[in-house]
Structure 1
Amino acid sequence: MTTLPPEPEPAPVSPPSAHRRVVAAFERLAHVERPDLWISLRTLEEVLVDAKAVDERVRAGEDLPLAGTVLAVKDLIDVAGLPTTAGCPGFSRVPVTSATAVTRLTGAGAVVLGKTNLDQFGSGLAGTRSPYGAVVSATDPQKVAGGSSSGSAVAVALGIADLALGTDTAGSGRVPAALNAVIGLKPTLGLVPKTGVFPASASFDCVSVFASSLALGQRALAVLTGPDGMDPSMREWPADVPLGVGERPRVAIPDEAGLVPLSAPAKRAFLAAVASLEAAGARIEPLDLSVFFEAGQLLYGSALVAERYASAGEILAAGPEGADPTVSGIVAAAGTHLAHEFADAQSRVTQLRAAARELLGEHDALVLPTVSDHPDLSEALADPAGVSARLATYTAFANVLDLAAVTVPVRPGDRRPFGVTIATRAFHDQVAIELAGLLTGEPTEPYPPEGVDLVVFGAHLRGQPLNDLLHGARFVAPVRTAERYRMVLLDTAPAQPGVVAGRTALDGERWRLSPAAFGRFAATLADPFVLGYVTLEDGSTPLAVLVHPDAADGAPNLDGFESWRGYLRFVSTAGLRSPG
């Protein structure tokens, strides 16, 4: 008998060369000729110095999750040595240190290309309020790019940058993502430090990420997340954060009244995306969005706008060079509100958050169209306030109501870019990411990455009656044990196997639970089940649901079966009464 040689180990995959990626980015810059995207652009020589340093770090053995990526940065966010203008030349200043967000991304291997154009002081959703020129769509120069993070989104859409930093107050990280067919991630407020970021509305601002793929955007978001000791608005992850959704997530969508603002092509595109989620197993339920729309109108239609005056009022009152008249008017009006009006508006925010939580109830997510339509550039220039308000319809309420959101491109209804947003309650970011992955077809990683892994073998498997007891766990992978175990049939309702020592390899599933979810699961695990370590065929030893050895005494042996599902199939095909 001929013995085949063992298969060679796969060669390790090297990170892409930062040098080659930077050269390609500058070639792309020259090809597309889009000066409207940039306020400050570094030279090829400057960027190659950083790229060389990244490549040397990789060769030295450093694990750099963003090595080989090029980064664009919205010009509200500090990059050491480059002017921060906030879209206003008269405000320009050169910081000596970078924002925490920039430092974290470059520390992970990203290379900064330059600072991108925006609606001045982050005020606008069309991308047209800038003395550096209006930013137009990546696909149609007659259409707006969306704002205020316009340059960042288009830089990614055109393939110049792999990643871009934006900010999001009323939708600035989602509207331009939708209008340029890129990924936009708006994390829960307080997860990413805002140190070194000029505020638009401090209570409702967050740093957002644009990316060429969901996987890359999630990787960048993981790098960005966590306190920096300088931003007092940072929040801690709760212990019971869900790390995934079940096979049949409950998804709310706008009811018919909530879809009225949509153009016909946008409605077709949105409903097609909803149908895709339903085909993937989601349970779709219409929801009245009146509370959400009221919250969105509150952001700029109440005394909450006073925070804009607190940020830029004195700057614009001095009449700096390049001040946009529309922005100046908005900010000046924001300074007329009285303290009691601001307090009343904050109180209403608290009430609306409670009402939204009740409406969302047991829903895992709210799926929304990101924009109602794609406005022409001429419309936005003629009616800047009206177009921005229209673009904010489905986005302005997210931060007011303390929601996380992910925007992904979907098949358009009129051959123009269209995006769908998955919104979730605060800290349920991973749920939004996982549902977004169903639309993009991409695998996702846990966010946050912390959790407890647990292997299950019986009624806790996917599709089995006790799976819900894993409390928002994330399915990691199917697993197989070493040949050290066997199953017995327990007298329980529903029927379950007990895993004890033996000589068989068993099939199971590996799940990741948040610390709080694991604690609840362990506290309710009934006798004879116990938690113990199991050895898998790859040599790892995670926790698993086993049974006390005494439970096998007198229990029917399932020695001929390597999986619980295999036993259930045998029972079914043999015409026997199904257990349980």
Structure 2
Amino acid sequence: MGPAGQNIGRGNCVISPAFDISSLHAFYAGGGTIAAIIEAVFARIVDIDDPGIFLHLADRKSLFEQAAALGTFDPTTKPLWGIPFAVKDNIDVAGMPTTASCPDYAYMPDTDATVVRLLKEAGALVIGKTNLDQFATGLVGVRTPYPVPRNAMDADLVPGGSSSGSAVATAQGIVSFALGTDTAGSGRIPAGLNNIVGMKPSLGALSTSGVIPACRTLDCVSIFALTVGDAWRVFEVAACHDAKDAYSKTIPANGFGQAPPVLTIGVPAKGDRLFFGDAVMEAAYDDALRMLTKLGHRLVEVPFGDFYKVANLLYEGAWVAERYAAVKDFFDAREVSFHPVTRGIYGGAKQLSAADAFKGLYALQALKQKVAPLIASVDLFCVPTAPTHYTRADLEAEPIRENSRLGTYTNFVNLLDMCGIAVPAGISSDGRPASVTLLTTSGRDGLTASLARDIHASSGLTLGATGWLQPKPNDTISVDEAGLIDIAVVGAHLSGMPLNAQLLALDSRFLRKARTSDCYRLYVLPGQMPAKPGLIRVPQATGGQIDVEIWQMTPAAFGQFVAAIPSPLSIGTLLLSDGTSTKGFLVEAAAVADATDITHYGGWRTYAAATV
């Protein structure tokens, strides 16, 4: 590794910076050219020598012309200026064939998929189209008539699918990020197996217009990246309502930044955890949970049997039929064109009836009702990305069972309308990548990304298979959105406390810890359920500095939040120890007449811990 993350020793690779977005933009700001990066991309492709990654490459001359059209370096107007990326070959790129890894299905699109267009408009450059499990059906990455991409970390392992080529291209440092799709885990499993980040956005956040459907009601475009911050930058650009997509939703890209100090994290109950005899992966997951505890979060074991039942529905009835419906005419006319395993899955769907589909829908609705209280009981979940590693030899022996097992912790996610992100958490004792996935309810992508960034930083891992160091954490934190309101919370609304869910439900974002000036006293309010403190202002230097958390919310959310605050609490202006002020909780003077003064504890969290 050379200075400033430069790669100076990978065979034919030319000297270039690391390919995370911050490093590339620093390179451009210092006078580096896109032409040099394009040359580095093609040199890496030659050096890595994996014919299974790309099904089509952009013309080098065309890339130079696109680079010239970007003009001078301007990351404000074009936040992805000069950033190379790859696109899974079930997503349209104008002028490049779309095959879905089925040569007989190939067509040449005239227009970009909406998500590709948005990324290009932000300055990103498409390097090529990547290999996949045919028609995005599989989690293994080997169901393709083309050469199978090599796992970037261990060539004996499957690369993961269905977005195999996109994950490997990112992990090898050929591109900064890549687009995949995710119906059953195709944006998470390959990320976990290749030591990179795999963001599965909330359903509808990214348009699927111009994407060949697998299960249209469940499909989403996913993002592979070297860092969580890079995945979020791409998400910010691509998250946009699309009137052409009937399943598109307006899901703002907000909430990414500092993770709340204390989150309640659901984990599968120990007796429910499935690793299929892989003690190494089980130990790696335990290590990740210890990391979360060390970061200050609270783990809660949750029964997981019903989540597994939801997962099993994905390859039964309604959703297998939906896969068949997506390509029915082509399958019925050209069944021989399909990969043997894929052909068996789609062919089986022809035997299903409408009654089978409704049976599945009814079963899902019943299970949703059962798991809803479990989902509501925690801020988010942390699960293994995959329960075990499988080699290519394993898949040759058991092509169906092993694929199904890889989906143990992924198949239920879209059926339950959750968002998630797979993040590297370490290297297991056998030298293979260890990854966890964070999951929560739709629209809270920023929360999972914020915690994922902390996990990745704590792991100390290098990026993918490149050996590049992680960029400094400050390089990946989003800038605060304009027009939002800061509010200081002091008691039951602190992270990890009983009423913090009210803030999260309003898409509030944790900003930082702080302390008040020494003109406040803190009391335990009598008769409150849950227990609450009251903060009251007193003359300067007659009180104490009290720990608070600063959260941020939209004006509309602030109004809704304040309207629900019961007497004797209120919102006023708090003075902080650094001389600034913010809106925050105060209490009426009459309420503390007979209350217990706990100012000497310095904060509600310390008091609560001392009186358990």
Question: Shorter-chain TM-score category?
Answer: 0.7 to 0.9
Partner of 2:88: 74
Structure 2 counterpart of 1:545, one-letter code: G
Match runs of 1:105-120 below 5 Å: 105-120=119-134
Q: Distance in 2 between matches of 1:215 and 1:468?
A: 25
Larger radius of gyration: 1
| 1:92 partnered with 2:143 | no
**Following the alignment from structure 1 to structure 2, what is the Cα–Cα distance between the partners of residues 463 and 203?**
34
Cα distance in 1 between the residues matched to 2:538 and 2:91 = 55
Q: Give the match for residue 424 of structure 1.
A: 440
2:177 to 149, 156, 163: 163
Partner Cα separation in structure 2 for residue 172 and residue 464 of structure 1: 32
| Secondary structure at the counterpart of residue 424 of structure 1 | strand
Matches within 5 A, 1:288-367: 288-319=303-334, 322-367=337-382
Report the equivalent of 1:30. 46
Does residue 179 (structure 1) correspond to residue 179 (structure 2)? The answer is no
Which is worse superposed, 348-357 or 244-253?
244-253
> Could you say what secondary structure the match of 2:42 adopts?
helix
Shift of 1:69: 1.7
The 5 A counterparts of 1:109-508 are 109-237=123-251, 245-261=260-276, 263-319=278-334, 322-413=337-428, 414-441=430-457, 442=473, 445=477, 452-456=484-488, 468=500, 471-472=503-504, 473-477=508-512, 487-489=519-521, 493=525, 494-498=533-537
How far apart, in 1, do the equivalents of 2:134 and 2:450 lie? 34
- For 2:190 and 2:73, the matched residues in 1 are separated by 34
Asked if structure 2 preserves the Cα contact closer than 8 Å seen for 1:75 and 1:116, the reply is yes
Q: Distance in 1 between matches of 2:229 and 2:63?
A: 25
Change (3 A) 1:391 1:449: farther
The answer as to whether partners of 1:410 and 1:420 remain within 8 angstroms in 2 is yes
Cα distance in 1 between the residues matched to 2:256 and 2:600: 31
Q: Which range is displaced more, 249-258 or 400-409?
A: 249-258
Q: Would the aligned equivalents of 2:254 and 2:446 in 1 still touch at CA under 8 Å? A: no
> What is the CA deviation profile of residues 228-278 of structure 1, one whole-angstrom value per residue up to 9, with x for unaligned ones?
111111234499999964524233234223234251111111110011001
Equivalent in 534, 538, 553 of residue 513 of structure 1: 553
1:510: Cα distance to partner? 3.5
The separation in 1 between residues aligned to 2:233 and 2:114, in whole angstroms, is 16
Equivalences, count: 542
Seen in structure 2, the aligned counterparts of structure 1 residues 304 and 547 have a Cα distance that, compared at 3 Å, is closer
Distance (whole Å) between structure 1 residues aligned to residue 498 and residue 347 of structure 2: 58
RMSD: 3.9
Deviation at 1:186, TM superposition (A): 0.5
Secondary structure of 2:211's partner? coil
Q: Look up the match of 2:31.
A: none
Distance 1:371 1:465 in 2: 31
Deviates more, 1:200-209 or 1:374-383: 374-383
Per-residue deviation at 1:390? 2.0
**Corresponding position: 1:523 with 2:555:** no
SS at match of 1:56: coil
Q: Residue 225 of structure 1: CA displacement? A: 1.1
Distance 1:189 1:150, change over 3 A: same
| DSSP 3-state at the match of 2:315 | helix
SS at match of 2:449: helix
C-alpha separation in 2, matches of 1:382 and 1:466: 50
Q: 3-state DSSP class of the match of 2:366? A: helix
Percent identity over the alignment is 32
Counterparts in 2 of 1:531 and 1:235: CA distance versus 1, 3 Å: farther
- Matching residue of 2:584: 545
Give the Å deviation of 1:547: 6.7
CA distance in 2 between partners of 1:278 and 1:538 (Å): 33
| Preserved CA contact (<8 Å) 2:96 2:108 | yes
The 3 A distance-change label for structure 1 pair 500 and 114 is farther
**Structure 1 residue 22: Cα displacement:** 2.3
The Cα of 1:105 is off from its aligned counterpart by 1.4
Relative to structure 1, the CA distance from residue 45 to residue 523 in structure 2 (aligned partners, 3 Å threshold; closer, same or farther) is same
The one-letter code of the counterpart of 2:488 is: V
**TM-aligned CA distance change 1:518 to 1:363, over 3 Å:** farther
Provide the rounded CA distance (Å) in 1 between the counterparts of 2:237 and 2:253: 20
Deviates more, 1:230-239 or 1:369-378: 230-239
Look up the equivalent residue of 1:516 and give its one-letter code: A
Post-superposition offset of 1:185 = 0.5
State the TM-score, normalizing by the size of structure 1.
0.83
Secondary structure in structure 2 of the residue aligned to 1:133: coil
Q: Distance in 1 between matches of 2:256 and 2:453?
A: 16
> Which residue number in structure 1 is paired with residue 465 of structure 2?
none
Structure 1 pair 538–121 and aligned structure 2 pair: CA distance change class (3 A): farther
Task: Say whether the 8 Å CA contact 1:498–1:529 is kept in structure 2.
Answer: no
Shift of 1:536: 11
Unaligned runs of 5+ in 2: 1-23, 29-33, 458-472, 526-532, 604-609
- What is the letter of the counterpart of residue 184 of structure 1? G
Distance in 2, matches of 1:178 and 1:92, equals: 29
The answer for unaligned runs of 5 or more in structure 1 is 1-12, 556-564, 571-577
Is the contact made by 2:521 and 2:538 (CA closer than 8 Å) also made in structure 1? no
Report the CA distance between 1:297 and its aligned residue.
1.2
- In the other structure, the counterpart of 2:68 is 52
3-state SS of the aligned residue for 1:48? helix
CA distance 1:349–1:450, shift in 2 (3 Å): farther
